[in-house]
Structure 1
């Protein structure tokens, strides 16, 4: 594993991924999945039939038949004349899938190891789509540190800590989300209590995404809180982001050579990702 130190803006500008389908799907099942996936590539939540068909690479008639069948099964909902959105059937499937992600009994030991190896605070964030894309801290290993000593006030928990716009842990999640979700987050206001290093310019923030995906981590310099720097890496379920691991240290204690901290943060995120991809037998 080759690791190089990176700052918040060490990235190749621009997106390298394409949201267009590679080729028209051939089988009936592939066409149905293409229609469902079209919603993840389109901005907003309600779309016209022709827009969905174009995103799926299908003709209008085929798309209409698939949508109507999906409406019957709750996979899609028809909103007005010729307009559709994803339905509760899709949401139930997503909840069912995410419910089998590893719990704290499996992840806490990994965070404890990261805390001991780096001397920093180790936190696990998960992606929450309810009410817009947010992050929630579900577990942490901070030793004898009092959360209040690191600025973890109630205001931070409900503002800075949940926003994907503020902090390395938010940016590594944001970098792996579909473009329409990224656009929704970029349209949000920067939390007023964010640190002085938070990236406020949308173009500058988006320019870090490619580098995060390429390097596998992000470095934050006083982004969430004044006086605290961080390293974060994404927790992935195959190619879908589930959350992030954050290693947090006081700025004066951050070494010039970040490679050891990056290494341990990456290993922690990879270990939790492995639990997500290949859960223990008892959890299946």
Structure 2
């Protein structure tokens, strides 16, 4: 996930040390896809022709022809002289793809099972890139608990719960995002009403993301609010992050051995991931 530094150009990400240089794409279709993929590899939103060509592994002339064709159909947008960003057609394609996510009934059943087997609050968060990368809770199972007992105001829910800097579910999602988006989130301020356990130091936060990717889950200790701990696991569509399943319990009720809670949380996230990757299964 973390990119190595480069001395040739700050705009073009360096090759990962564990990857060998790849050959330039040969077919016209492969070249077009390489140009589109370059936007996901580069930091920021708007990029120069040179940077895009470098990331795509193509010469400037070929890249320019592909960009000009893409501007016509809205795949790319030209911003100023010789600078481009992804266009509305790309966004429409992404929305269309995500619309085939699992049904609410299917995911709710999985959350109900997680709540029943662990006694904790089970929540499903999804990644929302609109207006900056953040998370949104789309479903939950909390049993007989009064939501007011969680101890968060409406303002707290908007500020703290949406931030990818706070909480196990936020960090789990953040850990699987491209480095360029991680950098944007790390540049954000920590919500002032975050819990006492929130990780404020960016180096420590980055280290926690490495650990999450290695282990496949995250643990939060009073990160979003005092008195509540959590376990979270990623919901993936193949290798792309879609969201996270969160298990929330009072700090006083968290067992010393978290392995059973981790197992059930990961199982729930994997079940939703399987539904996400299989439209036929999700529709049943």
Query: Same fold per TM (> 0.5)?
Result: yes
- Structure 1 Cα separation of the partners of residues 113 and 14 of structure 2: 38
> Does the 8 Å contact 2:220/2:231 carry over to 1?
yes
Q: CA deviation digits over 1:181-231, x for unaligned, max 9?
A: 111111111011100110011111011122211211000001111111100
- Secondary structure of 1:207 counterpart: helix
Residue aligned with 1:208, SS: helix
Counterpart CA distance in 1 for 2:166 and 2:58 is 39
Bigger mean CA offset, 248-257 vs 22-31: 22-31
Q: Alpha-carbon deviation of 1:20?
A: 3.5
Q: Does 1:221 align with 2:221?
A: yes
Q: Quick check: 1:115 aligned with 2:112?
A: no
> For residues 66 and 201 of structure 2, what CA distance do their matches in structure 1 show?
41
Structure 1 counterpart SS, 2:197: coil
Ranges in structure 2 where 5+ consecutive residues have no aligned partner: 5-12
Q: Which runs of 5+ in 1 are unaligned?
A: 1-13
Quick one: distance in 2 between partners of 1:228 and 1:283?
Answer: 35
Question: Paired residue for 1:15?
Answer: 2
| Pair 1:110–1:281, CA change in 2 (3 A) | closer
- For 2:267 and 2:113, how far apart are their aligned partners in 1? 10
Alignment match, 1:87: 87
Partner of 1:11: none
Contact 1:75 1:87 in 2 (8 A): yes
Change (3 A) 1:112 1:225: same
Check the 8 A contact 2:168/2:230 in 1, yes or no. yes
- TM-score, normalization: structure 1? 0.92
Aligned match of 1:256: 256
Aligned to 1:7: none
CA distance in 2, matches of 1:16, 1:282: 35
Distance in 2 (CA, whole Å) between partners of 1:269 and 1:238 is 13
C-alpha contact (below 8 Å) 1:20/1:55 kept by paired residues: no
Q: Whole-Å Cα distance in 2 between the matches of residues 213 and 44 of structure 1?
A: 23
Whether contact under 8 Å (2:235, 2:243) holds in the other structure is yes
CA positional deviation for 1:19: 6.1
The answer to whether structure 1 residue 76 and structure 2 residue 101 are counterparts is no
Alignment partner, residue 66 of structure 2: 66
Evaluate the alpha carbon distance shift between residue 119 and residue 281 of structure 1 in structure 2; reply closer, same or farther with a 3 A threshold: closer
**CA distance change for structure 1 residues 19 and 98 in 2, over 3 Å: closer, same or farther?**
farther
Q: What is the TM-score of this pair, normalised by structure 2?
A: 0.92
User: Within 2, Cα distance between the matches of 1:19 and 1:222?
Assistant: 37
Q: Indicate if the aligned counterparts of 2:245 and 2:269 stay in contact, CA closer than 8 A.
A: yes
Q: Distance in 2 between matches of 1:259 and 1:235?
A: 19
C-alpha deviation, 1:152, in angstroms: 3.4
For these two proteins, the number of residue pairs brought into alignment is 271
Deviations, residues 88-108 of structure 1 (Å, cap 9, x unaligned):
000000011111111321100
Q: Which has the higher contact order (CA 8 A, sep 6+)?
A: 1
Do the aligned partners of 1:19 and 1:41 also contact (CA within 8 Å) in 2? no
**CA spacing shift, 1:271–1:282, aligned 2, 3 Å:** closer
Q: CA deviation at 1:279?
A: 2.5
Measured in 1, the distance between the counterparts of 2:75 and 2:208 equals 35
**Contact 1:230/1:248 (8 A) holds in 2:** yes
CA distances 1:12-36 after superposition (whole Å, capped 9, x unpaired)? xx93788648412222111111111
Q: Does the 8 Å CA contact 2:151/2:225 hold for their aligned counterparts?
A: yes
